[in-house]
Amino acid sequence: LRFHDFLDPPSHDVGTETRLYKPLDTISSAIASGPVEGRKRNKFKFRVCPNTVIESQIAGSDNKVDGCFTSEDPKSKRLDTSRLACILEYKLSSLQEVENNKQALSASVQIMNDDVRRMFTYGITIIQDGVTLWYHSRSHSMISKPFSFVEDPRLLIEVFMTFLFATEEELGYDPMVTRDGKGDYIYRIPSTEQGPPCDRFFRTTGSIAEYRSNNITGRMARVWKVVECNSSGAVLSPSGPSRVLKDVWLEDSALTEAQIQSQIFEDIQKFFRDKQDARYLAFEELQPSISDLEHDDSYKKYFIKIVADYEGRQTKPRSPNSERKRRLFSTVESIALPTTSNRGRSGTPRLTESKTTFDEGPREFAPRKQYRVIFGEVCEAVGDLGTVGDVADVLSQAIVALRLMYCAGWVHRDISSGNILAHPCGGAWQAKLSDLEYARQFSDSDRNVGGDPKTGTPYFMPHEIFSSCYIIPGPVAEQEPELVDNDITNGRRPQPRGPPPVYNFQHDLESIWWIFVWTVTCRVSHEPSVAFGRTIFQN
């Protein structure tokens, strides 16, 4: 059994790519017209569309695909990321396999970056008659062993049938998020309260932060300004308050932000009960005093208020018989994607995550889970405040929050200009500490607390953590006065010497200091200060 149009493998000797692969359209149409027991035909259609640019809500990407399964109108010549269930790339020469793989991956990255609903996505690459299937999720990617659609047409029919008769959820679309015609998203947050289930719905009204990534795997954090609505998207109360929704993929074993905050609050309450604790007595003399913070749970105002949260779907587990595949793209070259965006950005450093070296070591490919959390206040990041005075006021309050965490036995480990927030309150700013994902209980023997900093900007990272070694003062003749200066101004991490430092409370305080230094150098209208700041705050 062979396809009429593919009696032999496609070859440059008999035609162009476009002409030779065009019959896949006809094959797909024939498959779609047949019944499949127990399945309904979905709205996606296969289309051969060589070198067609994918349109996106976020400007700057110019990926092209040769084919796809799409829900676009067949008469439309456009391709939008929101309508692409699976992309296809083909080449006639095996010498172009790496190029083909790169193009397919780059298009899949764009889809996963741009469409909030995507939990995972698929791809198909073809070299002559060799077909490889791709699966991408936030925890890992998988590829199949290639097969010949000339010699094994039944398998290609099965693959096409799978895409044409799958549900949207099976194709990777999250049933908990819908997208309207304007491009806004409606999140459904199931109730966690006891009693009859009562879902809540939140409609996005603007992007606060969206961290575009060159990698599909990872956290893919998105932060939205939202309003509460009904299931169809109609706002419940036009005068109701706006909220903030954070959407992120956590490692499956990780505690959620709500769980961590709850544990911190419990430990703060335990601390309050021991009035003879040396820290209680010492901090009672500061303003605000410990007793003031204890009164009516006033300490909670220094932390972002969590209104609701939801742990969603997990990524699929890795196939037990799979093995790691290397050199699919190249040995030294990394895929570069545009990182500009027409969505709102602010002064807070938000970098595109990328890797410049290949990790050849073992990896667990741990499963990840969706996590959505609704915050009660819409705030300004301290990195976006308009005056140095406002920044100083908010940072001084943030130290109160860190002092409370210290008393409770916790370290934050991720202090930056983006997670110290300012909420307008009675004509002044109230500091709110957020992003507790990386917070841990302090242990003077747990070196992992300092040894596993997250990927990201080192702008505000404590220097001992940045360098993976302690700064130990020595005699003047033995000091290396250029150590800190060179490490920072060269924008690189020095080689660690000895075991990594234990992350402690002073490291959180140091990050506050770096934020202020960054503010008074890089964010002021004084060119000499800015020029000096550029020598320190490099990517």
pLDDT digits (tens, 9 = 90+) for 422-472: 999 999 999 999 999 999 999 876 655 444 445 335 789 999 988 889 888
Torsion angle of alpha carbons 444, 450, 452, 455, nearest 10°?
150
Residues of the chain with CATH 3.90.1570: 17-165
pLDDT in tens, 309-365: 999 999 998 888 888 887 788 744 444 444 433 333 334 554 444 444 445 566 778
pLDDT at position 259 is 97
Res. 12: pLDDT tops 90: no
What ranges make up the beta strands (E) of 185-238? Answer: 185-189, 200-210, 222-229
Instruction: Enter the tokens of residue 342.
Output: 């027409």
Quote the CA–CA distance of 501 and 449 in Å, as a whole number: 9
pLDDT in tens, 461-506: 999 988 889 888 766 555 554 544 555 555 555 555 668 899 999 9
Q: What is the DSSP string of 461-501?
A: S-HHHHHTS------GGG--TTHHHHHHHTTSPPPP-SSPP
pLDDT at position 457 is 57
Whole-number Cα distances in Å, 310 to 224, 307, 344, 351, 430: 15, 11, 26, 27, 27
pLDDT at position 353 is 41
Sign of the CA dihedral with 329 first, then 330, 334, and 340 last: negative
The values of phi and psi at residue 37, to 5°, are -60, 130
pLDDT at position 328 is 84
The model carries a pTM of 0.85
Domain range 17-165, CATH architecture: Alpha-Beta Complex (3.90)
Q: Which amino acid is at 443?
A: S
Share of residues in the chain with pLDDT > 70 (%): 86
Quote the CA–CA distance of 375 and 165 in Å, as a whole number: 39
Whether 42 contacts 164, CB under 8 Å: yes
pLDDT at position 60 is 65
Quote the CA–CA distance of 318 and 280 in Å, as a whole number: 49
Instruction: Enter the tokens of residue 1.
Output: 């059994």
List the Cα angle 504/509/511 in 5-degree steps.
100
Q: Closest Cα partner for 519 from 290, 345, 292, 348?
A: 348
Grade residue 198 by pLDDT with cuts at 50, 70 and 90.
confident
Instruction: Provide the mean pLDDT of the chain.
Output: 87
pLDDT in tens, 58-116: 666 789 999 999 999 888 888 999 999 999 999 999 999 999 999 999 999 999 999 99
